[in-house]
Structure 1
Amino acid sequence: MVNRITGQLLDGLFPSYCSLCKWHCPGPLPLCQDCRNELPANEHACRLCASPLPTAVSGVCGTCLQSPPTFDRAIAPWLYGEYLACLVHRWKFSGARHLTTLLADLWLQQVADPPAVDAVIPVPLHWLRHWRRGYNQAELLALALQRRLPQLQLATGLLQRSRRTAAQSTMAAEARRRNLTGAFTAAGGCANLRLAVVDDVLTTGATAEAVASALKASGARHVEIWCLARTPSPGD
């Protein structure tokens, strides 16, 4: 009762507004229920690459059966639809760092019990892009997840961006893979570790492959990819 009354008082004094439609919304998250309902969950997905599957298919997608990924598993609880794309674009490119809390909570709403890992690693930005943007969105997300899951150990020094690469948003899958060849290097200390790499959106899997290859070459035993969302048509 006390908590409910306190919440109502705080909501009256400091009202929350939906980050998408801008209408007032009660509760701790700046996302109204109507907009929340527009976020499609990635509920039926390949257990390796998290690619959405037809409901008649289960387990592993055809692509992974033919050519298993270097990483061991990807977790991407949402599909990258219009509403989530709007949030991610503002968060990533328009300085909306305050959306980190919302996005971390959305991830945890779908992944209530994340797998046990030895360390969590945000995908690093090249120093020049980090300087221009002012922050690394993957690192912000990893820090937000760690605040909610104190058992997670953040390890920002295990992976480095060894060279600058062109922006990948307009590239096809093969061009993305070529663009990222040799882009990451892993520091020592990965031997026999179970690692989770945090990123924003999993599209073709080129970044995931590049970071997993670097970490496994440095001795990592198991590499997972933790992303907010998966594109509905990976590889297009």
Structure 2
Amino acid sequence: MNDRLNIIQTLFGQHCLLCGIPSNGDLCASCHDSLPHLPFHHCRVCALPVTGSGICGSCLANPPAFDCTIAALSYAFPVDALVHSLKYQANLPMALVLANLLLARINKDSLPDFIVPMPLHTVRLRERGFNQALEIGRRVAKQCGIPLLPDICQRIKDTASQAELPWKEREKNIRGAFTCEVDLCGKRIAMLDDVMTTGATLNELAKVLRKHGAKHVSGWVAARTLSRALPHQS
């Protein structure tokens, strides 16, 4: 059986995207098992490590506009390489890989009404040619059977890249960046993005969704930076 599998993999050229050995999936079992996962104990709101279980002190003292965060993995090697390959090298097949990793973390028994991918400003969209959050979202929405709504929110402010700013400046940088023209009264919304660093971008979008009636807002991200951030600064 193993010989037959190896022959099939050789003929069709299916190899692990990380180490390159023949694989029956995007990642071989060894690479998949070595991926950096979130700590077992992490805040269910912001996904940062906590002692014990429940909600971290930061989220209790200064609750964000979103209710919870689901992150596939920690933003560390080699996940950062997968994200960079998608985002900056237009390696679109990586969106499928990241989507599948996120899908493994999503509870299919408690799904939102809609998925909203993180909007890109038109300037950034023209430069990159695609929205990485939308590309990941297509697969997640299809597998979950949830409508994907890429156009209900717009990024109206061409902000500096959050990654290039000190954490203390990220909340101010993203303030007022989004708009929404749709009535979401009583709806449960999942915001989908590639990486969550400190939470400011997700928090700003969540505020807009709340203003338009969303009753529950969650963040779905492929990767979460686990450095202890200042309260909801990015």
Match of 2:78, SS state, is helix
Is 2:184 aligned against 1:190?
yes
Q: Secondary structure at the match of 2:154?
A: strand
Q: CA deviation at 1:7?
A: 6.2
Structure 1 gaps, min length 5: none
1:15 and 1:26 in contact (8 A); partners too: no
Q: 2-side partners of 1:97 and 1:232: how far apart?
A: 25
1:51-200 pair list within 5 angstroms: 51-54=48-51, 57-111=52-106, 113=108, 115-149=110-144, 151-200=145-194
> For the aligned residues, what is the CA RMSD?
2.0
Counterpart for residue 29 of structure 2: 33
| Equivalent position SS for 2:138 | helix
Once the 2 structures are TM-superposed, how far is the Cα of residue 12 of structure 1 from its aligned partner? 3.3
Structure 2 residue runs of 5 or longer lacking an equivalent are none
User: Contact 1:38–1:83 at 8 Å: present in 2 too?
Assistant: no
Distance 1:68 1:99 in 2: 33
State, as a whole percentage, how many aligned pairs show the same letter. Answer: 36
1:225 to 199, 216, 219: 219
Structure 1 range deviating more: 222-231 or 108-117:
108-117
Amino acid at match of 1:80: Y
Contact kept, 8 Å, 1:172 with 1:235, in 2: the verdict is no
Amino acid at match of 1:212: A
Separation in 1, partners of 2:150, 2:157 = 17
Q: Which runs of 4+ in 1 moved over 3 A?
A: 4-10
Deviations 1:9-51 (A, max 9, x none): 6423212222222x2232122x223322331211321011111
Aligned residue for 2:45?
48
One-letter amino acid of the structure 2 residue matched with residue 64 of structure 1: C
User: Per-residue displacement from partner, 1:196-231 (whole Å, max 9, x unpaired)?
Assistant: 010011111000110000111111111111001111
